[in-house]
A and B are shown apart, each in its own frame.
Chain A
Amino acid sequence: MNRYRRLFLPLALLFPLFGLGLIWLLTERQSYQGTEWDVPIAGYDPRDLLRGHYVQFRYDWPRMRESDIPAWSGSRSNLCIIGNSPRIERVEMQDPLNPVPGASALDCDAVAKVNPWSEEGDDGLLRDRIYVPQQAARDYQARLADPLLQGIVRIRINNSGYITPLSMAFQPRSGANGGREELP
């Protein structure tokens, strides 16, 4: 027994090291998978725009009413995204178990699901947050409040259908021509 007891400590020390390393590796691998899309955002509140290091915002899915978006993880409905990555053409509701009678099967380019682990609770398809550098926070706040600029978030939808916001950009609103402006 005493012989094995000497192994306890090294094993107990290595266990969390390997565990953390494995989690790091999995997170790293997961961060490269999936497809990327640009989604316009709306409905941010300047007062609690920045809570520390992140911006909280609301997705404004193209050609989709907000009330149609599934807002709880128990719902089996998904968002079916149709378009060419990263440009979204349109977004439709998809219920794999109860397909709408008569409607043709949707050919989705990506499927987004409510992430049951989201920090936004069940509102993962409605709201989200993106971490930003502290120095750029004031810049973001000014641009988000600017009525002439449209905020656009680049998201990645991974293989499980869960959304990760990657970066935020701005472009002039209402068809005015102009290139996208990237912020640091």
Chain B
Amino acid sequence: MSDRKLDIWLEAGLIDPATALRIREYEADRSRPLGLWSLIGLGALAIGLGIVSLVAANWDEIPGMVRLSVHALLIAGVSGGIYLLQPRNGFLGLYLKDVLLFILAVLGATFFGHLGQVYQTSSPLWQPMAMWLLLFSPLLLLTGRGWLISLLWIVALLGTGIAHWEWYAQQAGGPSAIYLAFVTSLPIFALLAGIVLGSRSERDSFWTQVAQFALASFVSGVSLKLIADGLSRGGAFGTEGNAGEIAAIHLGLWSVAALLAYRLNRTATGISIAAILIAAALTSLVSSIAQSTEPLASAILFIAFWAAIGWSAIYSEWRNVFQVVVAIIALRLIILSFELASDLLSSGLGLILAGMITIVIAILAYRFSRAFAPARHSVAEPTPDASDL
């Protein structure tokens, strides 16, 4: 909190001197010796780096069993630290515990690689990742509180899915449509888990974050698929044969998920999530069946999907999401104008036209966003309107 700002507000007549005094007193009470803490942190960092470089320099000299034992002891030590921090609330109990959870999870993940190095064994990436997910999910999901843990878990889940997909695609025969439909629906399962468990847990903000990250990765995945469909026949799945089949399974799967999302969360948010899922399934199905590489058709499907997200944002009053939606649709329109004018672009006139369209779309989008964006909430609400989406 800077005193300069308070002075400016005082001069502008926004606050009276008594309020300014109370703010100063309040901030003085809350202030922590930041300088001291940062020096302690710097010292700890130097010690840590020194240990790491000592170990790294003598890596080959240290016998494998010793290295693995130290690694295992570190994991046990961090686990003990988390256990000791459990009954505390406040700064230590909430934030430091999340950081320790994150360190523990990373130490656990590197243990698999360390075992492989010491014993000269190898396995495909998805195996240790799946094992890690199995071992650490209960801990992370039962005790995580902040975005660090929710994001780590979603990244690990989707990463495991992608690693398995990559490995499976290399195996003989190739993946079946039903496998592909399920592995690409992983974010949906995480989303449903977030909604179900969020309503039963006291850490509902953690589960809301899980659901938000899941929905965000789902929307990005569907958008990428719609773009890929427009670039080449067969689209994201490459094989022309089963793209329609996969999209049909998606339609069934995602419709059930939409119904569940609404039944579990009978609020505006639940309806918005269901609408996004249905819109994704429908646009993806049309895109896969049409297999069109026409720029206009591809852009219409993309914009239809994002328009549904925009509607959901208005319905649930997610202001930031709505602004992102308008920006993305405007960007897609600008790209479309360049795609359609590709033969004109070689001429000066074409460039002028494309430039004018770009400016007009940008101005229109700005005005549209200002006019129709849901009002800013005066009180912060834990609804999924955070910038995460």
Contact = CB atoms under 8 A, between A and B. Distances in A.
Contact of A12 (B59, B76, B142): B142
B93 to A, nearest CB: 12
A20 B82 contact: no
Interface stretch (B168-176, B230-238, B290-298): B168-176
Interface in A40-72: 53, 72
B171 A122 contact: yes
Given A16-B139, A119-B124, A9 B171 contact: no
B121 interface: yes
Interface stretch (A98-106, A126-134, A140-148): A126-134
Given A12-B143, A16-B108, A122 B172 contact: yes
A121 B170 contact: yes
Contact of A19 (B117, B122, B135, B142): B135
B131 interface: yes
Contacts of B76: 17
A19 B60 contact: no
B75 A20 contact: yes
A31 interface: yes
B173 A27 contact: no
Indicate the member of B112, B117, B120 with the most A CB atoms within 10 Å.
B120
A117 interface: yes
Interface string A110-137: 0000001111011000000111011100
Interface in B47-90: 59-60, 68, 72, 75-76, 79, 82-83, 86
B117 A131 contact: yes
A30 B143 CA distance: 35
A23 B120 contact: no
B204 to A, nearest CB: 16
A149 B59 CA distance: 29
A134 B58 CA distance: 11
B122 A129 contact: yes
Contacts of A118: 122, 124
Given A28-B119, A119-B123, A74 B173 contact: yes
A78 interface: no
A138 B131 CA distance: 35
Indicate the member of A13, A14, A129 with the most B CB atoms within 10 Å.
A13
A93 interface: no
A133 B122 contact: no
A15 B122 CA distance: 24
A74 B172 contact: yes
B34 to A, nearest CB: 31
Interface string A3-32: 000001111111111011101100110110
A119 B124 CA distance: 5
Interface of A: 8-17, 19-21, 23-24, 27-28, 30-31, 53, 72-74, 116-119, 121-122, 129-131, 133-135, 164-166
23 contacts: A9-B83, A12-B142, A12-B143, A13-B79, A15-B138, A16-B79, A16-B135, A17-B76, A23-B112, A23-B131, A24-B115, A27-B119, A72-B172, A73-B171, A74-B173, A119-B124, A129-B122, A130-B120, A133-B60, A135-B60, A164-B119, A164-B120, A164-B121
Given A16-B75, A23-B115, A74-B172, 7 more contacts: A16-B135, A17-B75, A28-B119, A30-B119, A119-B122, A119-B124, A122-B172
For the complex of A and B, list the 10 residue pairs with the smallest distance between their C-beta atoms, beginning with the closest: A74-B172, A16-B135, A12-B139, A19-B135, A133-B60, A119-B122, A117-B123, A12-B138, A13-B79, A31-B119
